[in-house]
Amino acid sequence: MDLNPSWIDEFPARIAELDHAHLRRRRRVVTPLGGARLQIDGEPMLAFCSNDYLGLAGHPALAEAACAGAREFGVGSGGSPLVSGHSAANAALERELAAFTRLPRALYFYAGYATNIGIVPALVGAGDALFSDALNHACLIDGARLSRAQIHRYPHADLGALDAALAASPARRKLVVSDAVFSMDGDIADLPGLLALCERHDALLLIDDAHGFGVLGPQGRGSLAHFGLEGPRVERRVLYMATLGKAAGVAGAFVAGSDTLVEWLLQKTRSYIFATAAPPLLASALRASLRLVEQEEERRTHLQRLVVRLRAGLAPALAGTGWTLRDSSTAVQALVVGRNDEALALMEGLRERGLWVPAIRPPTVPQGEARLRIALSAAHTEADVDRLVAALLEAAARSAGTRERDRNAAASR
Ligand SMILES: *Cc1c(COP(=O)(O)O)cnc(C)c1O
């Protein structure tokens, strides 16, 4: 046996380091119990963790459509889209996504992560410049790195800094990428402002609307619609990307834009060309989902009422805790507590009361900004939200009390 020390034997110690830093993650086995209830590792929980913002993931019409799709097309797509995987179901879904987003053409992918890591390098490369909001989703960051373009990371939502960086760049091809709704904070990017800057500096704008699609705008048409952005200005300069595993309740993603830009992406996106197309049964389910997203406005109104209720309930409790509830009018509500261990303790305290709210730690969020990410859904009732608020109020009072005692102890020393 080879007894020379090897880096390969260091992984146990490296995993132990994750433990020490409260950064070790683990999965839980989850079974849906209906509504916003989940069985998590065997325990029934009221969950505030799902991106199923409209409560469609468990809808019988989607399951029925998926089964019908499987019977009609089989389960697997059998190939990559440019060879033989582009089913009639996927083609129909693309047409419907384009119509739904009011953009000329859409390209349907099997996952959002694969979309962004593929389309960014298809748009810019070495010698080009890419401008990225500091809080963008990991897959936009990874796509930027893969592209080999020069990356300019601007402070979150700081359009002044972006303007200056665009003005200073000598690159001829410039791409601005931004989440439309930031996934760990819930705030909405100033899309009209971003578009105006892109026009001024002749940049292309790619927005990732994973958390806005289905939720924001009339009929849930997404963040562009939320701002009333449509027509030739948008088609010329904007690529709209959104995921289909969140509000749409199924899986996958798409990018939409002008015929030409989408044609270019079809030709050049490696994660599209070299991957098996999504199973047609998912497209069947998604087509059923799109109809519900469009028609059932009540899901969005209910969700909006829950957002207001949660914020109104929590606001008075935060004084003296050192916690802050980030400004957000969307389903994503971030309660920033700061330290990793404090966020984990808070999560654990809620878990003991049957409430499941995930603690999010670095590197998903910046150092020192560990938080509970409260995700609301149309599947929640007002009573569900009240239960969470009551538990958080108790925890807040305890935390404020602890801080007070710490201060007094420090003062008397
Ligand atoms: C979830 C998410 C993705 C990834 O989409 P998947 O379909 O889960 O791969 C991309 N961007 C943002 C902002 C997301 O929140």
Please tell me the predicted confidence (pLDDT) of residue 160: 98
d(CA 374, CA 91): 36
Please tell me the predicted confidence (pLDDT) of residue 255: 98
CA of 298 to the centre of ligand 1 (A): 25
Take atom 14 of ligand 1 and give the residue whose Cα is closest. Answer: 210
- The residue annotated as part of the active site, out of 152, 174, 246, 302, is 246
Question: Does pLDDT of 336 surpass 90?
Answer: yes
The CB of 333 under 6 Å from ligand 1? The reply is no
Burial classification of residue 409, based on how many CB atoms lie within 10 Å of its CB (0-12 exposed, 13-18 middle, 19 or more buried): exposed
The answer to whether 211 is a known catalytic residue is: yes
Is residue 311 within 8 A of residue 333, CB to CB? The reply is yes
Is residue 129 within 8 A of residue 147, CB to CB? The reply is no
d(CA 177, CA 145): 13
The CB of 223 under 6 Å from ligand 1? The reply is no
The CB of 243 under 6 Å from ligand 1? The reply is yes
Is residue 32 within 8 A of residue 192, CB to CB? The reply is no
Question: Does pLDDT of 413 surpass 70?
Answer: no
Q: Which tokens go with 390?
A: 């009551």
Question: Does pLDDT of 32 surpass 70?
Answer: yes
Please tell me the predicted confidence (pLDDT) of residue 397: 86
**Ligand 1: which of 115, 139, 215, 360 to mutate, judged by most atoms within 8 Å of the beta carbon?**
139
CA of 214 to the centre of ligand 1 (A): 14
Question: Does pLDDT of 272 surpass 90?
Answer: yes
Report the share of the chain in percent with pLDDT over 90.
90
The CB of 143 under 6 Å from ligand 1? The reply is no
The answer to whether 20 is a known catalytic residue is: no
CA of 253 to the centre of ligand 1 (A): 8
Express each pLDDT in 276-335 by its tens digit: 999 999 999 999 999 999 999 999 999 999 999 999 999 988 888 889 999 999 999 999
The CB of 385 under 6 Å from ligand 1? The reply is no
Take atom 6 of ligand 1 and give the residue whose Cα is closest. Answer: 112
Quote the strand ranges of 250-295, DSSP E: 253-257
CA 136 to ligand 1: nearest atom: 13
For the chain, list the domains and their CATH numbers: 29-54+297-412 (3.90.1150.10), 60-295 (3.40.640.10)
The CB of 271 under 6 Å from ligand 1? The reply is no
CA 183 to ligand 1: nearest atom: 15
Q: Which residues on neighbouring strands pair with residue 208, listed in sequence order?
A: 179, 241
CA of 210 to the centre of ligand 1 (A): 6
The CB of 179 under 6 Å from ligand 1? The reply is yes
- The residue annotated as part of the active site, out of 183, 258, 284, 289, is 183
**Ligand 1: which of 50, 178, 183, 243 to mutate, judged by most atoms within 8 Å of the beta carbon?**
243
CA of 113 to the centre of ligand 1 (A): 6
- Residue written as tokens 């209906």? 34
Helix residue ranges, H only, 124-222 = 138-147, 159-168, 191-200
Handedness of CA 106, 142, 151, 187 (dihedral sign): positive
Report the share of the chain in percent with pLDDT over 70.
99
The CB of 183 under 6 Å from ligand 1? The reply is yes
Q: What are phi and psi of 92, to 5 degrees?
A: -65, -40
Please tell me the predicted confidence (pLDDT) of residue 1: 62
Least confident stretch, 68-72, 387-391, 405-409: 405-409
Express each pLDDT in 355-403 by its tens digit: 999 999 998 899 999 999 999 999 999 999 999 999 999 998 888 777 7
The CB of 113 under 6 Å from ligand 1? The reply is yes
Q: Which tokens go with 413?
A: 């020393």
The CB of 340 under 6 Å from ligand 1? The reply is no
